[in-house]
Structure 1
């Protein structure tokens, strides 16, 4: 199977060490980040993507990341918040199927067996 040429998508996960009040029995944002990275790597082998984790309580200096981290807090979003190419695709407990559908819009393909 020959894969199409595409630009690796950027996935950004905004979260915090403290689990959000509505997400008490769910994994932490950092655990979700690690789980999602592993799942996407397995689903789309040899199809690169970049993943970034942003701590909403201590975001990096980049203005765009700080602004969205502030928005997560101000709008009381359920975190982690998952963005693909700056589009929100999941809040709280992300569903893999939803993220796969979004990835496939950018040309990612699961290998056929």
Structure 2
């Protein structure tokens, strides 16, 4: 199976959402995810980016942030290849499962 390099976007804000007070910030979550994914799938390329919902840089990100606000999603919101896979406190298992479905092989 060929690996399709995934694009992971973590949308969030500097200020934590009210229900996420005891959790890491959205930016910290993005950094944590990057490290965890790199350990689980070593030497396999992926892209992860943090998008500050207060200042999105692209029209696509702006539209997504507007949808997040309209639907009251808990942030951070983790999007892989355009699909929302987690919101609030992301679960590594869910993200790892998605990576494996995309052809990534976990380190033993």
Is it true that 1:57 corresponds to 2:54 in the alignment? yes
Residue correspondences, number: 108
| 1:95 corresponds to 2:91 | yes
* Match of residue 21 from structure 2: 24
Provide the rounded CA distance (Å) in 2 between the counterparts of 1:16 and 1:25: 15
Q: Please say if residues 15 and 81 of structure 1, whose CA atoms lie closer than 8 Å, have aligned partners that are also in contact.
A: yes
TM-score normalised to structure 1 length: 0.91
Unpaired segments of 5 or more residues in structure 1?
Answer: none
Secondary structure in structure 2 of the residue aligned to 1:54: strand
Pairwise CA distance, 1:17: 0.3
Provide the TM-score with structure 2 as the length reference: 0.96
Moved over 6 A (4+): none
Using the alignment, how far apart are the partners of 2:66 and 2:54 within structure 1? 9
Give the RMSD, CA atoms, in angstroms.
0.9
Which has the larger displacement, 70-79 or 85-94?
Answer: 70-79
Alignment correspondent of 2:64:
68
Counterpart of 2:79? 83
Structure ID, larger Rg: 1
